[in-house]
Chains A and B, each alone.
Chain A
Amino acid sequence: MADRKTLQADQISGHTGPAPGYGMQRDFEVCKLIDTTTCIGCKACEVACVEWNDMPFSVTTFDNTYQTMPETRWNFWNLIKFNEHQNTDGTIQWLMRKDQCMHCADPGCLAACPADGAIVKYANGIVDFNQENCIGCEFCVSGCPFDIPRFNPMTKKVYKCTLCSDRVGQGLEPACIKACPTGCLKFGSKEDMKFIAGERAKQLKDNFGWQNAGVYDPQSIGGTHVIYVLHDATDPERYGGLPKDPQIPWSYTVWKWLFKPVLGTFALFGFLGVLLHYVTTGPRVAQPEPPKKEGSNV
């Protein structure tokens, strides 16, 4: 990335204004912005995700909604969730939310995972699973407040959205962003996306009467690298599976890094204890003890 940046045009001769493309490559944290108010539920992102990640075909379940399947799977990381919400005035809201990994700043999966190098959080904010180091214990599933990691019973490992870390590493946008026809999906630096999301929320408030419109970027987990613009940010639950105040149990960190090694060492004291007993007190033998041999001091 560094050489890419040095090759960016800063000034161009005979060209007024800023150089085209200047400032496009920055080392900031990346972010995906999902504007639920302009999503039309076309599922182009679902197809793009399956295509790019080369997922095998999987049979879906029809449950009388527009939703492709009830929930994401180990080989289906991106799912538009369709929810019908009845407002207090009796009107119906048909909500579409793109469900995928949120790439938390403080990832619960990473806190829970005991395996070395199985979950990586990159400096740009992407949280990625390295299946080669995964032992399939599924503790990440309990760590995740968004119910995202999925166990593959064939490989005995866990999978989830990578935010197309392979594409982003090459300076490309994630596949879902590229496929979105309405522009409800945007990708860029976290700061830019927060700014755009804020502007959009303001627009929804001022021009469209969505008094509670806002941005979903939960601070209880340090923010996420996938943020939403919601019609009603005070009630994210209505979009299906968006907790208002996601939490990561602190016990994971304390147990994993403090008590596991310390208590494990205590258990070894059992070994040291019996060893010490043998060399200090010695064994207890059946009575009467056989007479000691001449010249022996045992």
Chain B
Amino acid sequence: MSSAVERFDNEARQKFESMGQTTVYRGELLRHPVYTRVLHWSVALFFFLALFTGFGIYLPWLFRWFMPIFGGGPLSREMHPWFGLAFVFFFSLQALNWLQPMLWTAADSRWMRNIKKIVSNEEKMDPPDTGFFNAGQKVQFWEIVGGCIVYLITGIVLWAGARTFGRIPVAISYVIHDISALIMLGGIFVHIYLSTIGEPGTFQGMIRGAVSEAWAWTFHPAWYKQVTGRDPVQACEEARRRLDSKQ
């Protein structure tokens, strides 16, 4: 099973690599290959399309002014499930792509216990055993995996409607679908913040695919060690000395 997934992922990565390219300059590391980036932005596009059309169904009296962008309420309602399906489709490819690095480890539990110090910026660098993804990213990833399953099940019930599934399943699905969407809406603010102004240097990893070595040893030291073979703390100290000697 897992080898079949790996074969599929590798083939997809190779195909996309031949279509696009990633330029890694000196002092940078390859973070996200073309395939990952294409999937990420496809997921993002359909997430926001589904989110914004969903607003019009969630609170029509509040978002009535907004709905003409999608051709009005009925058309938003008509397109919302299709956007949702596309979101789930692209995210499931991304989930297969990221299955391996997203597995929970003991280091992640330690990271989580340490979260206060990281959020408050008391510790300038992430713990040395933080790998390609940190525990926060993994929590968000698995939340979206769960959310996609919930969306799919409740969404199909809502799509087919009360005349297929009965009144009570629809009444329940409606509440669960909304709660799932609200959790993801809350999460997307944190995701956008941390990937842009919250941790500068992250955004280019998903745009160009490359990040600076300094970014890597600061936020993902174990990954830095894995790809460069150098000790992240030492590398940081060396860089600091170089910086000091320049002055």
Binding site for B on A (CB under 8 A): 112, 114-116, 133-139, 141-145, 147, 151, 155-157, 249, 251-252, 255, 259-261, 263-264, 266-267, 269-271, 273-274, 277-278, 281-288, 290-291
Contacts of A134 in B (CB 8 A): 73-74
- Chain A residues near B161 (CB-CB < 8 A): 138, 141-142, 151
Contact residues of B between 82 and 120, Cβ < 8 Å to A: 118-120
- Name which residue of chain B comes closest to A261, CB basis: B59
Checking A133, A251, A283, A290 against B175 with a beta-carbon cut-off of 8 angstroms, the contacting residue is A251
B75 located at the interface, meaning its Cβ lies under 8 Å from any Cβ of chain A in the complex: yes
Nearest A residue (CB) for B118: A284
Q: In the complex the two chains form, what is the Cα distance from A146 to B240 in whole Å?
A: 74
Q: Does B215 contact A (CB under 8 A)?
A: yes
How close is B119's CB to chain A, nearest CB, in angstroms? 7
Residues in A with CB closer than 8 Å to B73 are 115, 133-136
Known: A116-B61, A136-B77, A142-B170. A285 touches B236 (CB 8 A): no
Q: A252 to B57, alpha carbons, bound, how many Å?
A: 14
Also in contact, A141 and B58, with CB within 8 A (given A116-B64, A267-B186, A286-B201): no
Question: Would B182 and A156 count as touching, CB distance under 8 A?
Answer: no
Q: Given A270-B186, A288-B239, output 9 extra A-B contacts at Cβ < 8 Å.
A: A142-B167, A156-B75, A252-B171, A263-B179, A267-B183, A277-B119, A286-B201, A286-B218, A287-B214
Question: With A and B bound together, what is the CA distance between A266 and B178 in angstroms?
Answer: 13
B contact patch SS:
helix
Once the chains bind, are A288 and B214 in contact (CB under 8 Å)?
A: yes
Q: How large is the interface on B (under 10, 10 to 19, 20 to 34, 35 or more residues)?
A: 35 or more
Contact of B56 with A135 in the complex, beta carbons under 8 Å = yes
Contact A287/B198 with A141-B162, A273-B190 known, Cβ cut-off 8 Å: no
Question: Looking at the complex, which one of A139, A151, A157, A267 makes contact with B185 (CB distance below 8 Å)?
Answer: A267
Q: Select A139's contact among B61, B170, B192, B215, beta carbons within 8 Å.
A: B170
Contact between chains at A287 and B243 (CB < 8 Å): no
* Docked-complex contact B175 and A255, CB < 8 angstroms: yes
Bound Cα distance A251, B60 (Å): 18
* Complex contact A137–B77 (CB within 8 A): yes
Distance between Cα atoms of A23 and B231 in the complex (Å): 96
CA distance A107 to B61 in the complex (A): 19
Distance to closest chain A CB from B238 (angstroms)? 10
The distance in angstroms between the C-alpha atoms of A267 and B182, with both chains bound, is: 6
Give CA–CA (A255, B193) in the complex, Å: 30
**A285 to B199 Cα, complex, angstroms:** 6
Contact B193 A274 (CB under 8 A): yes
Q: Does B76 contact A (CB under 8 A)?
A: yes
Set of chain A residues within 8 Å of B178, measured between Cβ atoms: 255, 260, 263
**Does B11 sit within 8 A of A, measured CB to CB?**
no
Q: Closest Cβ of chain A: how far from B228's Cβ, in Å?
A: 15
The contact sample of 10 A-B pairs, CB cut-off 8 A, is: A114-B58, A116-B64, A147-B162, A151-B161, A156-B74, A259-B175, A264-B58, A267-B185, A287-B240, A288-B243
B78 at the interface (CB under 8 A from A): yes
Cβ-closest 3 pairs across A and B:
A135-B73, A142-B162, A274-B193
Identify B198's interface contact among A116, A133, A261, A277, CB under 8 A: A277
Task: Report if A260-B243 is in contact (Cβ < 8 Å); known contacts: A137-B77, A156-B75, A278-B198.
Answer: no
For B213, give the chain A residue with the smallest CB separation. Answer: A286
- Across the interface, A114 reaches (CB within 8 A) one of B60, B163, B172, namely B60
Contact of B189 with A by CB under 8 A: yes
| Residue B150 lies at the interface, judged by CB distance under 8 Å to chain A | no
Q: Are B57 and A281 in contact (CB under 8 A)?
A: no
Nearest residue (CB) in B for A116 is B61
Residues of chain B in range 178-215 having any CB-CB distance to chain A below 8 Å: 178-179, 182-183, 185-190, 192-194, 197-201, 212, 214-215
Q: How far is the CB of B118 from chain A (nearest CB, A)?
A: 8
CA distance A76 to B118 in the complex (A): 64
B174 x A255 contact (CB < 8 A): yes
CB < 8 Å: which of B67, B76, B124, B182 contacts A287?
A: B124
CA–CA, A273 and B217, complex, Å: 27
A116–B192 CA distance with the chains assembled, in angstroms: 32
Distance in angstroms from A161 CB to nearest chain B CB is 17
- In the complex the two chains form, is A266's CB within 8 Å of B186's CB? yes
In the complex, chain A residues whose CB is within 8 Å of the CB of B60: 114-116, 135
B168 at the interface (CB under 8 A from A): yes
